[in-house]
Amino acid sequence: MNLTFFKGMITGLILSLPFGPVGIYCMEKTLVEGQKEGYVSSLGMVTVDVIYGLTALLFINKIDDFIIKYECFLEIGISIFLLVVGLKKMSRKMKVKKIELDPVGIIQNYFTTFAVALANISSIFTIMVIFTTLRIFESEGHAVPFQVACGIFLGGAAEWFFTTFLLSHWRRTITEENLIKISRISGGLIFIFGIITLFHSFNKIFF
C-alpha cells in the first residue's frame, strides 16, 4: 500500500477518537450491551467518515457554500435528536442486557449512529483540515479516492475494534448497578451536548 492509503488510515484514526456524543453512545453500548453492539454502532460513524472524506476529496470546491447555508438548521436537527436520546437514557428504567446476538438491534444501532454522524455535515471541515495537514489533496491518480476511503474505514474500524474490545473486558469487572449508572451518565452527557449544540446554532441565527 502506498503513502496515500496510510494517510487515509491516519485520518480514520483521528476521526474515530472516542469523543463527542456518538463516541459516548458507542462506548455506552459496549459497556451495557456488549462488544458486538458497540462495535457495529461505531461502524455507522466510520461509514459516514468515509462518505464525508470522499465528499471533501472530490467536491471540495462545491461544498463550502452548502455547509455555510444550511449548517445552523442541521445543527438544530442534531441537537434535538441528541436531546431526545439523552432524555430517554436518563428517564427510562435501565437493565443491563445479557450478551446475545440480536441482528435487528445491531442493525438499528448501526443506523442510529449513522444518522447522527450523517447529520453532522460540518464535520467535513474537520476532514478538510486533516487532509490539508497530511497533504492528501496533493495526491494524484485515479486510485486516490479508493485508497483514501479504504484507509479511513480500516483506520476507524481498527481503532473502534480495539476500543470496544478493551471496554467489553472492563465490563466484566463492573457491577450491574455501576453499568446502569454509566448508562445514565452517558445519557446526561449526550443531553448536555444537545443543549450546547442547540445554543450554538441559535446564537448563530439570532446574534
User: Tens of pLDDT along 74-83?
Assistant: 777 777 877 8
Range 135-158 burial, b when 16+ CB lie within 10 A, else e? ebeebeeeebbebbbbbbbbbbbe
Which residue is associated with the grid cell 469523543?
A: 19
**How many Cβ atoms from other residues are within 10 Å of residue 201's Cβ?**
19
What is the per-residue pLDDT for 119?
76
pLDDT of res. 159: 94
Alpha helices per DSSP H over the chain:
3-15, 20-33, 35-58, 60-91, 103-119, 123-134, 144-171, 176-206
pLDDT at 101 over 90: no
**Full-model pTM:** 0.77
Task: Give the tens place of pLDDT for each residue, 128-169.
Answer: 888 888 888 777 788 889 999 999 999 999 999 999 998 888
Contact predicate 184/24, CB 8 Å: no
Per-residue pLDDT at 161 = 96
Which DSSP string corresponds to 81-93? Answer: HHHHHHHHHHHS-
pLDDT for the residue 151: 95
Portion of the chain with pLDDT greater than 90, in percent: 24
Of the pLDDT bands very low, low, confident and very high (cuts 50, 70, 90), residue 171 is: confident
Furthest-apart CA pair in the chain: how many Å? 54
Cβ-proximal residues to 118 (8 Å cutoff; 6+ apart), any chain: 48, 51
What are the residue boundaries of the structural domains of the chain, listed by start?
3-74+94-173
